[in-house]
Every structure is written in C-alpha cells, then in structure tokens.
C-alpha cells in the first residue's frame, strides 16, 4: 500500500456533502470535489478549495486542486457540429419554443441549442 495514501470519507446527499480527510472534517474548506477510480487503481479525489482557504492543505495529503474548465472550447466544438438548416427546420416545427415576443426566432434557436447540449431533445417527426 502506498504510504502517500490518506483516508477519505465522503457522505453525500442531494444537496450537500461532508468530507473528512484522515478523520478531519474539511467540508467548510472545500467548495466541491470529484471522485474517480479505474479498476485496479487507487481512487483519486480532486478537491476544489473554497475561495476562503489559503494553504490549509499543506502537508496533509497529495491533493490536486482543480480549476473549473473553460467552457469555450467545448461550446465552440458543439456549435461547429450544428447543421444550420436542421436547426432552423426544427425550431420552426417546435411551436412550444415560440412565444410571439421580440427576437422570437433567435430566442427559440437558443432554447433549442440548450436542449440539444443537455441531451434533452428527442427528434420528432415534422409534418
């Protein structure tokens, strides 16, 4: 067993989580976390420090401090894959997206793109 490993305990519900590192509650020092493990490998916990924390973790554990990813490249890749004709055809067939207000078509397209990005939209027959 790697002597660099530390005991981590996470108790989570729908809205909050309690995190303990080697028995020490660190919940108030962390604004978020990510837990991952590949079969046969040691689990990794990535802690996102609260803005109020400076160097609380010095010497406690081998910790990777994460920075939220830049959504720009993913958004650009998503948008470049959109077929403009399909977008227009789908929006015009989706009356639930239209509200009759100013900039209706643009707002409807943005709502549809949000659905597509979230994987919530299901193709429907146009006719």
Taking the chain (127 residues) in consecutive chunks of 10 residues, what is each chunk's mean pLDDT? 73 87 87 85 82 58 61 89 92 89 92 87 49
Which residue, chain included where needed, has tokens 């406690």? 60
pLDDT confidence of residue 61: 47
pTM: 0.44
pLDDT confidence of residue 121: 58
Q: Where are the domains of the chain?
A: 8-65, 71-118
pLDDT confidence of residue 88: 92
pLDDT confidence of residue 65: 55
pLDDT confidence of residue 104: 92
């Amino acid at each position: 067993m790697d002597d660099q490993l530390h005991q981590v305990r996470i108790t989570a519900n729908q809205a909050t989580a309690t995190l303990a590192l080697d028995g020490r509650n660190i919940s108030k020092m962390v604004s978020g976390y990510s837990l991952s493990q590949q079969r046969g490998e040691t689990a990794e916990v990535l802690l996102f420090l609260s803005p109020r924390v400076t160097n609380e973790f010095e010497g406690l554990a081998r910790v990777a401090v994460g920075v939220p990813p830049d959504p720009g490249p993913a958004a650009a890749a998503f948008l470049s894959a959109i077929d403009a004709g399909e977008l227009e055809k789908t929006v015009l067939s989706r009356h639930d997206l239209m509200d009759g207000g100013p900039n209706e078509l643009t707002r409807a397209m943005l709502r549809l793109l949000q659905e597509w990005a979230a994987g919530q939209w299901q193709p429907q027959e146009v006719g």
